[in-house]
Structures are given as structure tokens and as C-alpha cells.
Amino acid sequence: MNNYLEVKNLSKSFDNFRLHDISFTLPKGYIMGLIGPNGSGKTTTIKLILNMLKRTEGEVKILGLDNIADEQAAKKSLGVVFDSNYFSDDWKVSQVEKSVSVFYENWNTQRFSELLDKFHISPAKKVKELSKGMQMKLMIACAFSYDAKLLILDEPTSGLDPVSRDELLHILSEYIEDGEHSVLFSTHITGDLERAADYITYISYGELFFSGGKDEFVDSFRIVKGGREELSDDLGKKAFGIRDFATGFEALIKTEDIKLFAHLNVEPATIDDIVVFTSKRGEQYE
């Protein structure tokens, strides 16, 4: 099995929000970033994958297993990290292991204690005494101790300092190094993904905007800059959002349209640029 996560035509309707027709595939051995502004549907997508929400339509396969019909089997090889910890505050780290390990036949106690050492987490500490970064690492240590093949992280970096964020990225690159593990990582701090992610799935207003290779994603857009008088109607039509100000403008365009605007200052776009400009688009026409 080469795809660790397959999401097909996933949809979910709420009273005031709709996630519509989301499809993407994460092959084994890679990191995928799930991006989009707050409220775009990232967490809904993850909750649907975990069957915490009931989908209206679509299909999800985790390691080739249906996420509802084979839920238990799929979850044996699935690790999840949420933005805050899901253990009892009053548990000591050693109690976390005792409580959770029974659920996994392949739990490796030695590996757990090695990971605690590596992450500098004392087994005698209570969960509530750990920093946010430590709590995140504790969740990861648990997932690694039963050798989860797929790790899903929902906004793990929000509220983390730069040091912890860097550590997380390092942990994740080590995790996929052997080519046998994959990561789905949702975040609105796209800087985290700029280098380490292999694939990007970008959800905007509940709809899939892009899913594919990160380099391809970033390469397919350019930022053009110029003076206000250079802001033509043609550019207005081609651009994904324009920011104009007293002394000039910036706009996001498709790389394929670059010939049309060769006279302007053209720069590579960052993931952030793409998200910011494409999200503004909707507002512009309101």
C-alpha cells in the first residue's frame, strides 16, 4: 500500500458552514501540509478523517482501511496531535503511559522512555506542569511508542515558541526519514511548511484550492510589483488579489501569465503570499 491517506470527495454540511468535495492523497514517506486561513475547514477535515464528525458524503482511507468500517484497525497505526493535550492534567507522565499503553499491543516501553529522555520530559512530572511544547512532544512520544505509521497534527504549532516549532519540524523530518511514515500537518503558520513539507493541500472557504507537490504549488505563482499607473485592467483580471497602496501595488499571478507582465518586477511567491492573496479574492468581490 503506497498511499497512507486517501480522502475522496469528502463533504460535510453544517448550518453555517459547508466543507465541499475535498479530495487529496498522501503517499507513504512524506509530509503534507494542510493549509488555509482560520475557519477554512482544516480542523473539520481532520475531524472527519478521525470520524469525530459524521461526513455527509465521501470516503476516507487510512493506511488502506476505511475510517468508519475499519475504524479500530486504522486507529491502531494512527497517531494524532491536537493543539492542546488530551490527557488528564493530574496524570503524571508515567501514568499517561500506563493509561494509554494498554490500548496498543505493540507499545514499546523502552522506546517511550528513550523518547522522554530525548525530549527532556521527566516521567515524574504531572501533565499540567509541562509546557505547551512539552505536552505536544508527549503526545508525539505516545504515537511513536506504538509506531504509528501516519501522524496527524492539528495546528500543533499555534502558541508554540520558535524553538519548539523548530524542534517539531526536526522530529517530523526524522520520523519520515525511513520512508515508512507519513505526516499530515494542519497549520496557519505556513512558514513551518515552507521548507519541510513535500505536499500541500490548501483549503479555502470549505473548498479545495490545491493539492499536490509543494514546490509545484509555490512555483505556479509569482508576485508582481509595480507603480500604480502600471496596474492595468488586464492585470486585474489575471491577478489573484491585488494590494494597492499610495506608491504602488502588489499582486499574485499565475506563473504561466508571467509573459504578459514581463515589464513589471516579478518575484517568487511564498506559501503565505499565496494564502493571503487568494483569500483576499473573495473579499474583493463582496
Partner 1 sequence: MSNILKSVKLDFSLVRPYVKTICFTMVLPAVFAAINRSLLTGISFAMCFIAMTSGYTFSITEKNDMERLYSILPVRKSELVVGRYAFSIIMGLLALIFSLITHPVILSSLGETVSTFDIACAAAVGIFLFALYTVFQLPGYYKFGSIKGRVFMYIPVAGFLATLFLITKIPADNSGWLITVLSSPVLVLLAAVLVVIMYVISILVSVKIVQGKEL
Partner 2 sequence: MKLIISNISGIPIYEQIKQQVKSAIMSGELHADETLPSLRTLAKDLKISVLTVTRAYTELEEEGFVKNIQGRGCFVLSRGSELLKEQLVCKIENSLSEAINAARVAELSGEELHRLLDILMEEKTDE
Residues that bind partner 1 (CB under 8 A): 47, 50-54, 71-73, 75-76, 78-80, 82, 84-91, 95, 98-100, 102-104
Q: Closer to partner 1 at the Cβ: 70 or 257?
A: 70
State the cell numbers at 268: 517568487
Q: What angle do CA 70, 74, 79 make, to 5 degrees?
A: 155
Does residue 35 belong to the site contacting partner 2 (CB under 8 A)?
no
Does residue 215 belong to the site contacting partner 2 (CB under 8 A)?
yes
Among 57, 161, 219, 234, binds partner 2 (CB under 8 A): 219
CA dist 56 and 59 (Å) reads 10
Half-sphere exposure of 47 (CA within 13 A, CB side): 12
15: enclosing H helix or E strand: none
Does residue 169 belong to the site contacting partner 2 (CB under 8 A)?
yes
Least distance in angstroms from the C-beta of 267 to partner 2: 8
Half-sphere exposure of 186 (CA within 13 A, CB side): 22
Residues of this chain, 181-200, that bind partner 2 according to CB under 8 A: 195-199
Do 141 and 112 form a contact (C-beta atoms < 8 A)? Answer: yes
- Out of partner 1, partner 2, none, which partner does residue 80 contact, by CB within 5 to 8 A per kind? partner 1
Among 129, 177, 234, 256, binds partner 2 (CB under 8 A): 177
- Out of partner 2, partner 1, none, which partner does residue 213 contact, by CB within 5 to 8 A per kind? partner 2
Q: Determine the distance from the C-alpha atom of residue 182 to the mean position of all C-alpha atoms in its chain, rounded to a whole number.
A: 12
Sign of CA dihedral 197, 60, 88, 101: negative
Does residue 202 belong to the site contacting partner 2 (CB under 8 A)?
no
Do 154 and 113 form a contact (C-beta atoms < 8 A)? Answer: no
Q: Closer to partner 2 at the Cβ: 3 or 51?
A: 3
Contacts with partner 2 by CB under 8 A lie at: 29-31, 169-170, 173-174, 176-179, 195-199, 213-215, 219, 267-268
